[in-house]
Amino acid sequence: LLTQSEGIVIYTGWERHALVGSDIRLSCSFFSWRWTSDDVTFSWSYRSDGARDAISIFHYTGGAPYVDNKGPFRDRLEFVGNPGRRDGSILLKNLDYGDNGTFTCDAKNPPDIVGRASSVRLLVFEKVPIQAGVITGSIIGAVLGLLLLIVVIYYFMRFLVARRVFNLSVRSVPLCLGLGPKPEPIPGLDTCLV
């Protein structure tokens, strides 16, 4: 009797930036309609910039992690995932410019073995560049802040002008005919209007 296989969806980030000498976690998780199997596997491969072929750098199977003992990450890769939570993340340590490239994660959760591997691009810099989204967000935030300040000043000025006009209109009509005390005279309006 064969069990039916369902699709598995694998997730990684799109692009990660890191500094030379730092560590970075490359996340890999998956969605499957099945419960997490004891036979779950994760495989990571790496293709450096300019290379045609990818090399296998990590494999998790049978409850044990296996790091490639000859590749560029043999002493710098650590498995930090939790297969029970469908997490096959790895940690790359002491990054160098030569680590720039594409990392691909593939996962299997038998009987769900059909799915497309997911890739994340790693860019290693001396200093991490400011992303365009941060710059755009800062500009939009500054413009919105300026507009808010202008609106507040506008309404505050309207309030002050309305208050002054109201005070002038109250003081400009003198109380005559003995109905109350006469207010201080305003130049040009110190007589009662009839």
Among 110, 116, 117, which residue's Cα sits nearest to residue 4? 110
**Residue 128 per-residue DSSP state:** P
Report pLDDT for 2: 47
At 81, is the secondary structure helix, strand, or coil?
coil
At 83, is the secondary structure helix, strand, or coil?
helix
- Chain-centroid distance of CA 187 in Å reads 64
- Whether domain 9-127 has CATH 2.30.30.40: no
Q: Which residues pair with 133 in a beta bridge?
A: none
Report pLDDT for 179: 54
Of 189 and 18, which is predicted with more confidence? 18
At 159, is the secondary structure helix, strand, or coil?
helix
Tokens of 152: 């507040």
Q: Spell 83-114 as b/e; 16+ CB within 10 A means b.
A: beebebbbebeebeeebbbbbbbbbbbebbbe
For residue 4, pLDDT over 80 is answered with: no
Report pLDDT for 115: 86
Of 177 and 141, which is predicted with more confidence? 141
Predicted TM-score of the model (pTM)? 0.63
Report pLDDT for 150: 95
Report pLDDT for 30: 93
Report pLDDT for 166: 66
Give me the mean pLDDT over the 123-143 stretch.
Answer: 80
Environment class of residue 26 by beta-carbon count within 10 Å: exposed (0-12), middle (13-18) or buried (19+)?
buried
Give me the mean pLDDT over the 67-89 stretch.
Answer: 92
**What is the rounded CA–CA span in Å between residue 103 and residue 117?**
10
